[in-house]
Amino acid sequence: MSTLHTVNKSPYERSSAATAFAHVLEGDAVLMIEDGVLAARKGGAFAKQLTAAKGVEVYALGPDLEARGIKAGDLVEGVKVVGYDGFVDLAATHTRVCSWL
């Protein structure tokens, strides 16, 4: 029993990403999509918060990263990249999806 949290807004625009990470539990996963992927860029002010949550896998949606010119090498260490198929798998594997808008 675990939750897939999705974050679709940039942490620099809105507090949704911060709020999401404040509500995760061990075993949960966080998937950043749309502008939410901006959180995954290394060196950014939000980067530390991504890896702060223990036992939480962090993902970023590949197509959204590519759209915004963010390459695999630009990512915070430990962030896994998935496609829409991976998004579907994550939604199926975890017990529920909680969207932080």
Partner 1 sequence: MKFAVVVNEGPYTHQASDSALNFVRAALEKGHEIFRVFFYHDGVNNGTRYTVPPQDDRNLQRLWSEIGLTKNVDLVVCIAAAQRRGILDANEAKRQGKDGDNIAPGFRISGLGQLIEAGIQADRLVVFGD
Partner 2 sequence: MSASEKKKFLYINRKAPYGTIYALESLEVVLIGAAFEQDVALAFLDDGVYQLADGQATSGVGMKNFSKTYRALGDYEVRKLYVEKESLEERGLTLENLMPITYEDENEDYAEKPSIFLVGRAEIANLIAQSDVVLSF
Contacts with partner 2, residue ranges (CB under 8 A): 1-3, 15-16, 19, 22-25, 96-101
The one segment of 19-27, 45-53, 71-79, 81-89 that binds partner 1 by CB under 8 A? 81-89
- Tell me what percent of the chain is helix, strand and coil, each rounded to the nearest 5: 40, 25, 40
CA separation for the pair 65, 40 (Å, rounded):
9
* Residue the block writes with tokens 């966080």: 30
Site string for partner 1, 31-70 (x = CB under 8 A): --xxx---------------------------x-------
Q: How far is the CB of 62 from partner 1 (least distance, A)?
A: 11
* Tokens matching residue 68: 């915004």
